[in-house]
Structures are given as C-alpha cells and as structure tokens.
Structure 1
Amino acid sequence: MKHEANGERVFQEDLHFSFMEFGGNNIVHYNFDEEETNSEKILATSVTNRIFLIHDKDSGKEERHIGLTKQLGKNYHCLDTLEIENLLSPAVLQLTLKDFKLKAVVELEFNEVTQEEYVDIPFIDVVKKLTTLDKLRKIFPEVKANAVPKLSNKADFARSAVAHITSWEDLSPSAQKLTTAVYKFIKSHNSHTS
C-alpha cells in the first residue's frame, strides 16, 4: 500500500477512481435517480455505481441543484463559486494569465484582488478585475447579446493552471474544501484495496 509522508493513501487515476467531465447543460441528459425507471435519460448509475458529482454554482439553476442534491445526497457537491475557474487562488490565476499574455506584452500588470471578491461573478469579470483583456491572447469568444462569455479553450487554461499548483497552499480555501471532499469519497470506495 502506497502512502505519502503524512500517512494518507495515494490513489491512482483509472485504478482507484476516474473522472468524467460534462458540459454544464449536458447534465440534463443524465438521470441520477435509480428509482425513476420511466426516464429516457441515461441512467448514470449504469455508467458507474459510484458517483461524486461536482457542479458549478450557476445562478438560475437552483431547481437543478435541488434535484441533484435530492438524488445524490452527500455525493453531490455544488461549488461555492459561480464557475470552476473561480476556485483558482489569485496567485495561481495571475501565473496562469501570464501564460496567455500577448507576445508583444512584456509584463502583465495585476490589480490586488482577493478570491472572496470574485467567487460569485462570471469568470470574464474576474479576469477584467485582475488585468486588461487586450493584453491577453483571445481567451473569451466574442460577446453575444445577453450571454456571458465562457473560456474559449478550457482544457488549455486548465492545463496551465494545474501546472502552477504545486502545493496545498496554492489552492484557495474553496479548492481545498473540494479536494478534501473528493479525497474522502475516493478513500471511502477504496478501503478494501491495497
């Protein structure tokens, strides 16, 4: 059995756990309630019988959050932040945005902002609070009427952010809370393995 220095187990992805991502609105295609047999939706428990669902706070989706909480109970985690990117600490966010600066820009200037100031605002507004968008490569699509732009390439942005997270202290308090919940879930389903 593999342990870290602090005595906690080390789990391996695709052996002890797996992640399946979903786009926000794709969740409506899944049924998390095994009791509901007349649904035309995909029965999520037929994909896996151990689900820990993490969902953005998403304003205006309160009914969805209530339904998922009812179906999954403690295995549903609604983020404390509007979008998952809002979990990033200001320090990690600044380092990540530097990876997306325009080549002609020598140095990005950042405003002092705490995570508490941006947990509940669209991520594009978080970036605008920190620095000016015109000094970054295009990371948000053109703004459409009445729509809040989302990151153009979340995967590249996520890879960059993860590369800058090298210690527990790099995680925001909200990210630490989520990490602890995920770890406890994985551990609870792997107590029999070595």
Structure 2
Amino acid sequence: MREKKKTRKLHDLGDGIQALIILMYKIFMAEDNSFFFIDEPELNLHPGMQRLFLEQIATNPELLKKKLTYIISTHSNHFLDLTLEKDNVSIYSFVPKQSVKGKDNQFIIKNVNRGDNEILKHLGVNNSSVFLANCSIWVEGVSDRNYIKAFLKSYIDYLAKNEDKEYKSLKEDIDYAFFEYAGSNIEHYLFEEEISEDEENKIESEINAIALSNKIFLLADSDNAEEGSAKAKRLEKLEAIKKNDFTAKIIREVREIENLLTNDIWKEVLINFCNKKLLKKDKAEVISRIEKALSKFNSDDFKGDYIGKFLNKIDKSLDKIGETNVLNKIYEGKRAAFGTFIYKRELSEYVLKADLKWEDLQESKEIKQLTEDVYKFIIDSMN
C-alpha cells in the first residue's frame, strides 16, 4: 500500500516552492488572451525551479489553451539558456545610454538572436554559463559528422513515428555539437582529469579537452591499427578512460566509417557517381546494372578493406554502355587497381540527403549500436 504524502501549509514550504506557487497561481486563474508582465521571476528560484517555471508557461496544455502572452524582465543567465530550446520566445536587451545632465535616462533596445553571447556581457556573466551545447560529439572529420547526423535523424524519426517512450527530439548546437579533431591530431588533446607528475610538462604542449567540453563522445576509426602500434596504443588509452561524461567509441568492426554502409545504402547513393550523360540517355539501364552489381558483391565482405576495393569490383561489374564507363572515376589510381576513394565528403553528403529509413539502417548491427550509443550519450548528458 502506497504511503500517503503529507500535506503542508504554504508557509511551511521552502522559499522557492512558495515563490513558484505565487507566480503560477494567477497565471492558472487568468482569463484567455491575458497579458502577464513579470519582473525578475528568478528571485528565490534556483535554476531547476526556473526551468520548471518556463516549461510550465511554455508547454502546459491548460495554459496553452488560454493563449497567454508573457513579457518578462530578467537578469538570469539561466533563463536565457532555457530560451534556446523554445521557438516562440523573443529576447530584447535594454542597454543604458551614457547619461546626459538634465535629461531622462535613455536605453538602446535591441532584438537579439538566441545564443547571442553579447547579451551575457551586459549581464556581467561568463559565456561558459550558457549558450554552450550540452555535450559534444568528437569526429575525425566532416564525413563522419554527416554520417552520424544521417543515422541520428533516421533513428529519431523512427522513435517519433513509433511513439517510443524514450523519444526526444534533439537540436544540433543546443543538445549536442560536433567537433572535428582531424584524425591523428587527437594525440594533442588531453582527456584525463588526473595526471601523474611525470606528465605535467607534457600538458603545456597539449590541449585540455575537458576545458573545451566537459561531456565528450569521441568517435575514432581503427584503420586496422596493428596491435602494439602507436595508433593502437593511443586508441586503447582512450578506451580505458572511465568517466561518466566521457565515452570513447572505436569502430573496430570496420576499417573506416564508410565501410559501415550496407548494400541498401549504396543502392540509394551510388547513382550519384555514375556518368550523367548516360543517366540522361539510359537511366533505367544504369539502375538495372547497379542492382545487378550489388547482387554480386556485398559491402559486408569488404569491412576490413579500403572502400576502393569494393568500389573497384562494382566498377568492373557496371562496365560500359557503348564506349562510356557507367561509373565515374571516383578513386585514385588506374581502373585496373583500386586506390583511395576521392569523394569521401560528397558520399557522406549524399547519405545525409538520402533520407534513409531506420528499418533499413538497423540491418547493420554496427550502425544500430553506434547510433544508439550516441543517442543515449546525448540524452544522458541532458539529465
């Protein structure tokens, strides 16, 4: 049997709860289409209470029916932080002009963008207090960023469509932000908070990553690093860091993130690398050849190889129509021998634009696990 909660009188409650009740009482009792002018509602409210107040007036169904308008003056940087999540809030700054003797004080009134750090200076606070994303996703470069964005979008759309209880819409640069560390440059960043004495001198030449963001999800390719190599040791060191706000995810199942792409994904994007003149004249034949080539070669069989090896097989299978190669030259080196894939960024952009369905993406256990890990890290960082 559940224990009945004890009811307390208003004057027995804490100052914050009292202030919140007094604020909300008149709002809930207001007539439709009323205007509310509230001066510094943050008084006696800690940041959590400020969030509760703003969420109530912005999302409570009963209050939304009333179509109320709020005009709020505040000196709280926490309120400004909370407005980043709202689409129906306008922010104005009031900055006093230099006073002139014998004249009334005048102000410069400016409509400022959400996330405008200039307003923090007027409030006298450091911009570390607000306008920073809740966490950062560290990737090697722009291609990795596009893939993660594509996977996340597909996953979130799937959760929303299925009304999953874990679903939460995420906003880039608010809930999370990407940071590109450019591959091997990761060795110049320090992620540990505690270091030994013999490492103190080393810090002077390294960047303290925790000062840039205290909630980091780091993604790195293994590049088939050999056991005992400098890169393998560096990756093992990152994985060994045990902290609530730091996760290192090393993609060991494949050589590079492009190797995660399944045949279903290649079927969607490969046409973008085919000869455009042939597509104008005989698109149906090109599509037929792509499907036939992908039925002969499975990208899963090339997970540990450079992606060019897989594309070389596809290239030979697509062959020519007339005298023209169906596939454009998309890797360095002669057609007889595969080489480095040239259009890594373009490929990632095509994947991002393809609007892939999660039902197809999750066929790859690696994509499924990676996406769920990133999503969970972002959600956990918001709590």
Quickly name the TM-score band, shorter chain normalised. 0.7 to 0.9
Query: Counterpart in 2 of 1:96?
Result: 269
Query: Counterpart in 2 of 1:181?
Result: 373
Alignment of 1:40-189 (within 5 A): 40-60=205-225, 61-71=231-241, 75-79=247-251, 80-105=253-278, 106=282, 107=286, 108-109=289-290, 110-112=293-295, 113-132=297-316, 135-142=326-333, 149=340, 151-171=341-361, 172-189=364-381
Distance change in 2, residues 1:138/1:26 (3 Å): farther
In 2: Cα distance, 1:63 partner to 1:18 partner: 27
Q: Tell me, yes or no, if the aligned pair for 1:53 and 1:75 is still in contact at 8 Å.
A: yes
1:23 equivalenced with 2:182 (yes/no): yes
In 2: Cα distance, 1:41 partner to 1:137 partner: 42
The answer to which structure has the higher helix fraction is: 2
* Greater relative CO, 1 or 2 (CA 8 Å, sep 6+): 1
Instruction: Give the superposition deviation at 1:131.
Output: 3.4
User: What is the CA RMSD across the aligned residues, in angstroms?
Assistant: 2.7
TM-score, normalised on structure 2? Answer: 0.44
The answer to which structure has the higher strand fraction is: 2
Distance change in 2, residues 1:23/1:153 (3 Å): farther
Q: How many residues align?
A: 187
Instruction: Give the superposition deviation at 1:58.
Output: 1.1
Q: Which amino acid aligns with 1:163?
A: K
In 1: Cα distance, 2:330 partner to 2:193 partner: 40
Mean Cα deviation higher: 15-24 or 161-170: 161-170
TM-score, normalised on structure 1? Answer: 0.83
Q: Tell me, yes or no, if the aligned pair for 1:31 and 1:44 is still in contact at 8 Å.
A: yes
Distance change in 2, residues 1:175/1:104 (3 Å): same
Q: Tell me, yes or no, if the aligned pair for 1:86 and 1:123 is still in contact at 8 Å.
A: yes
Q: Tell me, yes or no, if the aligned pair for 1:32 and 1:72 is still in contact at 8 Å.
A: no
Q: Structure 1: 5+ residue runs without aligned partners? A: none
Q: Structure 2: 5+ residue runs without aligned partners? A: 1-58, 60-84, 86-158, 226-230, 319-324
Q: Tell me, yes or no, if the aligned pair for 1:90 and 1:115 is still in contact at 8 Å.
A: yes
1:6 equivalenced with 2:164 (yes/no): yes
Q: Which amino acid aligns with 2:311?
A: V
Runs of 4+ in 1 over 4 A off after TM superposition: none
Per-residue CA deviations over 1:90-116 (Å, capped at 9, x if unaligned) read: 111132111111224441432423343
Q: Tell me, yes or no, if the aligned pair for 2:218 and 2:249 is still in contact at 8 Å.
A: yes
